[in-house]
Every structure is written in C-alpha cells, then in structure tokens.
Amino acid sequence: VGDMIDQLIAEAVDSMAPRPGFASELLIALRGRPALAISDDESRSRVRWIVASALAGAASVSIVLVALHQRGRTRRSRFDALMKRS
Amino acid sequence: MYLSAAGHDSYPEVADEALAERAAGDFDAFEELYRRYLPPIYRFVRSQVRDDATAEDITAHIFFRALASAASFRSDGSYKSWIFRIAHNSIVSWRKRSDRSKPVEEIPDHPDPDPSPALQAVARDTSGRIWGRVEQLPPAQREVVTLLYGEDLTIEETARVTRRTRGAVRILLHRARRRLRHSFEREEL
C-alpha cells in the first residue's frame, strides 16, 4: 500500500505544472529587477524600523527616569522642610 | 539535478552549485538555475497552497529572494536544499500571514486492519483523488510527503529544508502515511 501511495503522490505532484507563460513572465520580471534592490529595500526598512523603535524606547525610558527623579526631589525637599521646622 | 525546462544550452553540464556561486554577478547563471528549478519549486508551492494565483505569487517571491541573496549561497551545501529552504520559509510566512491553515479532523489511532481492501482502494484511485487526501493532511505532514515523494528529496535534505531532525521527518512521514492509509480504509468500509 505504502509504495502505491508514494507513487500516486509523485504522479499527483508531477501534474502540478506552472501555466504556460508564467516562466517567461517571471523571468522578465527577475531580469528587470536587480538583485540588490530587494535586499536593500528590505534591509533599509528593517534598519529604519529598528532605529525608530530604539529611539522611541530610549525616549520613553528617559521620560520615566526624569519623572521619577523630579518626584524624588520634591519628596526630599518636603522632608527637609519638615525636618527644619521640627 | 533538474533538467533544463527549455532549450537553454549555455550551461549544459555545469553543476547547480557552480552556477550558484556565479549567480550573484552573472544573470545567465541565475537564469539557468531558474530554468532548472522553476518547475519543482512551483510544484512544491502549488502542493502547499489552495490556488494557482497564490502559488505563482509565492514562487515569484522565492525566485526574487534567491536572486537577491545569491551572494549568500555557500558552495559547501547543495543548491537544491538551499532553494527549497527559501521555498519552505516563504510558505511558512505566507501561512502565518494568511492564516488559511484549517484544523484537520483527527483520525483515530487504531491498529491497521488487513491491508488488502486499502490496496484495492488505492489501486482504483486517481492522482487527483489521492491528492484530495494529501491536501487534508496537516501542513507539516503534507510538506514532508511532497518533498520526499513529489520532489525526490532525501530524508536528510528534507530535514535540512524544514529545519527538523531526521527523526522528526521520519515521524511526520509515518503519521502522514498512516493517515492516508486510514483514509483509504475508511472509504472502503
């Protein structure tokens, strides 16, 4: 049974040929597009995305740190004032 | 090595790997590889998706990627595994994006009955009908079956293409064959 299944699958896959004309259309498209154009586009957009994410992350972290620092300073000055009064 | 699909005799006896090394800077070398591999790559993609248009889009994507990353091919591996690996990745990405993989009904795991009725069912079946059953296999099993039986890849090559161990490929193959056999037997009953 196994051998027959294998053979029939091979026949079924073999019958899946591309439509006539597809090979030439794709070849023309490939010929018209230099290899580096695709990788450049992809890598540029990836780099842009990474840089933008890193900048956004750094900005968020610094905002949080500044806010925490300000809060700490306010608390400390209130504490100092209370201590002086007492 | 696949034979040239058209009468393009610039590189009749040149090995795939030698062509691949030149493909980054020599479009003729790439074109020869394209002629050799378009039919098997298209067949593989078509066997994993539901329509011709999607198969054409993915096949085009694969060859654009193969051209774009031609310089990254290392001659210590086989070109066949390399390009089928690109095809595998492209299909996986397409599946993730389209989310078209539908869950397959689980077939109960019971011992094989007498194989003779199944043998008769298989013998009566046409390629189209058998493919209908292969299409119902889970994507990973369908992929392994197609690469091994449809494209004559070895277990080793299939493992490399799908980034699985040889053992995992054997298990997928065993499960796929068992499902198919059950499917024939159920029809027979």
* CA dihedral of B83, B146, B91, B131, whole degrees rounded to 10: 150
Radius of gyration of chain A (CA): 33
Among candidates B46, B115, B134 on the partner chain, residue whose Cβ is nearest the Cβ of A9: B134
- Please report, as a single letter, which amino acid is at residue B185: E
List chain A residues with CB under 8 Å of B149: 6-7, 9-10, 13
* Segments of chain A scoring below 70 in pLDDT: 1-2, 34-47
List chain B residues with CB under 8 Å of A4: 119, 122-123
List chain A residues with CB under 8 Å of B184: 1
**B177 Cβ contact partners less than 8 Å away, ≥ 6 residues apart:** A2, A5, B145
Nearest-angstrom CA–CA distance, B147 and B143: 6
More confident call, B107 vs B52: B52
B160 — pLDDT class (breaks 50, 70, 90)? very high
Which of A15, A14, A19 lies closest to B59 in space, CA to CA?
Answer: A19
How close B135 gets to chain A, by Cα (Å)?
Answer: 11
Angle at B95 between CA B143 and CA B70, to 5 degrees: 75
Q: Which of A6-10, B8-12, B48-52, B160-164 has the lowest mean pLDDT?
A: B8-12
Interface residue of A6, A25, A30, A43 to substitute, partner B, most B CBs within 10 Å: A30
Angle at B167 between CA B170 and CA B44, to 5 degrees: 50
Which of B127, B118, B135 lies closest to B189 in space, CA to CA?
Answer: B118
Is residue B131 predicted with pLDDT exceeding 60?
yes
Residue the block writes with tokens 């400390």: A76
pLDDT at res. B102: 52
pLDDT at res. B141: 94
pLDDT at res. B170: 95
Residue the block writes with tokens 């992809």: A42
CA nearest to B34 within chain A? A27
Arithmetic mean of pLDDT, B27-33: 93
Is residue B3 predicted with pLDDT exceeding 70?
no
* CA atoms lying within 13 Å on the CB side of residue A80: 6
Query: Could you tell me if the ipTM is greater than 0.90?
Result: no
- Please report, as a single letter, which amino acid is at residue B141: Q
Written as one string, the DSSP assignment of A16-38 is -PPPTTHHHHHHHHHHHS-HHHH
Is residue B83 predicted with pLDDT exceeding 60?
yes
Mean pLDDT of chain B: 81
pLDDT at res. A42: 54
List chain B residues with CB under 8 Å of A33: 64, 67
Among candidates B60, B122, B130 on the partner chain, residue whose Cβ is nearest the Cβ of A29: B60
pLDDT at res. A38: 40
Cβ–Cβ below 8 Å for B67 and A26: no
pLDDT at res. A5: 77
Is residue B144 predicted with pLDDT exceeding 90?
yes
Cβ–Cβ below 8 Å for A6 and B67: no
Q: Which of residues 97-136 of B touch A (CB under 8 A)?
A: 115, 118-119, 122-123, 125, 127-128, 130-131, 134
B53 — pLDDT class (breaks 50, 70, 90)? very high
Structure tokens at B22: 């030149």
Q: Do the beta carbons of residue B137 and residue B176 sit within 8 Å?
A: yes
* CA dihedral of B50, B56, B59, B63, whole degrees rounded to 10: -170
How close B124 gets to chain A, by Cα (Å)?
Answer: 11
**A4 Cβ contact partners less than 8 Å away, ≥ 6 residues apart:** B119, B122, B123
Is residue B112 predicted with pLDDT exceeding 60?
no
Arithmetic mean of pLDDT, B21-39: 92
Angstrom CA distances, A38 to A28, A30, A33, A84, B25, stand at 16, 11, 8, 69, 15
